[in-house]
Amino acid sequence: MRFAIATALLLCLLPPASAVVTTRYSPAGMTFAGTICLDAATGAVLSENKADWPGHPASVTKLMTFLLVMEDIRDKKTSLGARVIIGPEPSREIGSRIGLVPKENFSVEELLFALMLHSANDAAVALAVHREGTVAAFVARMNKRAAELGMTRSRFVTPNGMTQGRGPHDDSTARDLGKLCVMLCKMPEALRFTGSKSYTFRRPLKPLDLTNHNHLLTLYPGCDGLKTGWTVAANASIATTAREGDRRVIAIVLGCDSPGGSKAAQRLRDKLAADLMTEGLAKLATLPAPAPKPTAVPATTPVAPKKVVIVNKEPGFWDWLSDLFSF
């Protein structure tokens, strides 16, 4: 009887089956918060697993910072060549960084490469301050843009995903991050950054060679983005995309963990993302190709038929003479 009561209490404390956080994926014991694969052209879901379960995106958060800066460039509010004067805030960042110091200045383009390849937390803060004056104002804009994109279960507290301990942490879901990535994949210029494998950050007297953290750029044919992330609090996440012919897919893996530690989790995260993209591209290949849009025929002004005017006149002398000798 006592055992039955204890069992009942335990079952009450457990979440329902539909809310189980982790899902087994491989014999290595990998778990994750959620996954999704999307058609990049339409946003249609090709596969999903706990896509609405909350997690912490870690440096995948930087994709929202990246989107806002790219949209400002598109709208001519700034430019790739605009100079960013470094203030005191970036130098206080920890984790992955490029060592920005006050009074240095770099172009927006240089900082975007540092952001997307090296996952530089200080570059994210420098861009945030450049665009909105303060980090807090930029984060407010991140949340506003997320709401506009329909990312209803996302809340950002940093421009870079670098949070520690009990937080607060940036929160999102695989589905929400997918919506963000669909928007980025519509910007060819954005893929130029995310698809670059290396870049030399040319700081005076000390150039820094940057290597993209996304190993799928090399390992997966057609992959040209998007962003990896890992922290102790968030585990390993990735947003990635690949193209095959005229088809493109987006895969999100959120909050991946492994008993083998962080490096094992990151390897398994990459494998799962690659598998999702392969399955997604195969599924797209079976769908009928979209009907071509009808080509508009330019309207033409109808030409009025040429009028023949018959002039009636009285017969003259030559007309009479002609009739006289006609047979």
pLDDT in tens, 59-81: 999 999 999 999 999 999 999 99
Location of structure tokens 């999100």 = 252
Which is nearest to 114 in space by CA: 235, 201, 38, 33?
A: 201
The answer on pLDDT for 12 being more than 70 is no
Q: Is omega for the bond preceding 168 within 30 degrees of 0, making it cis?
A: yes
Convert the pLDDT of each residue in 76-119 to its tens digit: 999 999 999 999 999 999 999 999 999 999 999 999 999 999 99
**Bigger pLDDT: 175 or 295?**
175
The answer on pLDDT for 273 being more than 80 is yes
Convert the pLDDT of each residue in 171-225 to its tens digit: 999 999 999 999 999 999 999 999 999 999 998 888 999 999 999 999 999 999 9
**Amino acid type, 165:** G
pTM value is 0.81
pLDDT band at 294 (very low <50, low <70, confident <90, very high): low
Structural domains of the chain ordered from first start: 19-286 (3.40.710.10)
Cross-strand bridge partners of residue 83:
107
The answer on pLDDT for 308 being more than 60 is no
Share above pLDDT 70 across residues of the chain, in percent, rounded to a whole number: 80
CB 135 within 8 A of CB 129: yes
pLDDT band at 290 (very low <50, low <70, confident <90, very high): low
d(CA 225, CA 212): 10
* pLDDT on residue 287: 84
* pLDDT on residue 293: 56
* pLDDT on residue 289: 66
Which is nearest to 99 in space by CA: 212, 205, 240?
A: 205
Measured N-to-C along each axis, helices 62-74 and 135-148 cross at an angle, to the nearest 10 degrees, of 80
d(CA 111, CA 189): 15
d(CA 282, CA 174): 21
d(CA 51, CA 42): 17
Mean residue pLDDT of the chain comes to: 85
Convert the pLDDT of each residue in 111-153 to its tens digit: 999 999 999 999 999 999 999 999 999 999 999 999 999 999 9
* pLDDT on residue 288: 77
CB 88 within 8 A of CB 125: no
pLDDT band at 50 (very low <50, low <70, confident <90, very high): very high
